[in-house]
Amino acid sequence: MGSILIVDDNVKIRNLIDIYLRREGFSTLKAEDGAEAMALLETQQVDLIIADVMMPNLDGYDLLRQLRENRIEIPVLMATAKTEFADKRKGFELGADDYMTKPLDMEELTLRVRALLRRSKIYSENRIVMGDVVLDYNSLEVRMPEETVVLPQKEFYLLYKLFSYPNRIFTRQELLDDIWGMDTDTSPRAVDVHIKRLRERFEQVKTFEIVTIRGLGYKGVQHTA
């Protein structure tokens, strides 16, 4: 299911996370600070890191900095008692992928870990598999049993964005900023036009659909047989 590196100088917290994740089927490694974590990464395969911020020798921020400077793109979830927005902003600016404050809710932690691992798999493989439908980012193709459709770039990016985060609601402005760029002069209504085209292209496909959330925006919904 994935190998998780738990980095925390508090042995009780480290062991609690370890026990819970193992119960959920994950394999785990433990380190008491960032320096030990970096040493482990030289010899161990890790899919995700859960790291505290306040640690001796090499704290969570410096661990993040070293990872990203060395182009190590392992997802990192920061778990810390620091609750100020400035602290969270610093973590995200250094390359954190998610943030939780202590005391940790273990069920929520598991959900976030699963979501980060899924997202990481999507980005590393550059494709999304939904039943018998495959979205291939490299070729802009939607491959289905009956046919393969090559989409215009922005239509494909829009579809890929929605189903990278299924059931998450995106506003028109969020989608516009992400796909057209934050400096674009294009109206958010361009998103509606592209959504309409996508719906028309795939109206017979039962595996997925794009749902309008009135007053908010859109979300991608997957359907299982």
pLDDT value at 134 more than 90: yes
Check residue 1 and give its pLDDT. 58
* Terminal Cα-to-Cα distance of the chain (whole angstroms): 23
Does residue 6 sit in helix, strand or coil? Answer: strand
pLDDT value at 31 more than 70: yes
pLDDT value at 58 more than 70: yes
Does residue 45 sit in helix, strand or coil? Answer: coil
Check residue 225 and give its pLDDT. 60
- Are the folds of 3-125 and 127-222 the same? no
Domain ranges for the chain, please list them.
Answer: 3-125, 127-222
Q: What is the mean pLDDT of residues 93-111?
A: 89
pLDDT value at 198 more than 90: yes
Q: What is the mean pLDDT of residues 79-101?
A: 84
Residue type, 99: Y
pLDDT value at 49 more than 70: yes
Backbone angles phi, psi at 220, to 5 degrees: -95, 135
Q: Supply 106's token pair.
A: 């273990």
Measured CA to CA, the distance from residue 134 to residue 141 in angstroms comes to 8
Angle, CA 216 vertex, CA 166 and CA 192 arms, to 5°: 80
How many residues in the chain? 225
Q: What is the mean pLDDT of residues 52-72?
A: 90
Does residue 210 sit in helix, strand or coil? Answer: strand
Tokens 């920061």, residue located = 78
Distances (CA, A) of 145 to 11, 137, 197, 205, 222: 51, 18, 21, 11, 17
What is the share, in percent, of the chain residues with pLDDT greater than 90?
A: 53
Measured CA to CA, the distance from residue 139 to residue 61 in angstroms comes to 37
Q: pLDDT tens digits for 139-162?
A: 999 999 989 999 999 999 999 999
Check residue 165 and give its pLDDT. 83
pLDDT value at 186 more than 70: yes
Q: Supply 210's token pair.
A: 């794009």
Stated pTM of the model? 0.60
pLDDT value at 123 more than 70: no
| CATH architecture, range 3-125 | 3-Layer(aba) Sandwich (3.40)
Distances (CA, A) of 19 to 16, 24, 27, 53: 5, 9, 10, 21
Which H/E stretch holds residue 181?
A: none
What is the share, in percent, of the chain residues with pLDDT greater than 70?
A: 97
Measured CA to CA, the distance from residue 99 to residue 79 in angstroms comes to 6
| Assigned CATH class of 127-222 | mainly alpha
Q: What is the mean pLDDT of residues 89-103?
A: 87
Q: Supply 128's token pair.
A: 């999304």
Q: What is the mean pLDDT of residues 27-32?
A: 94
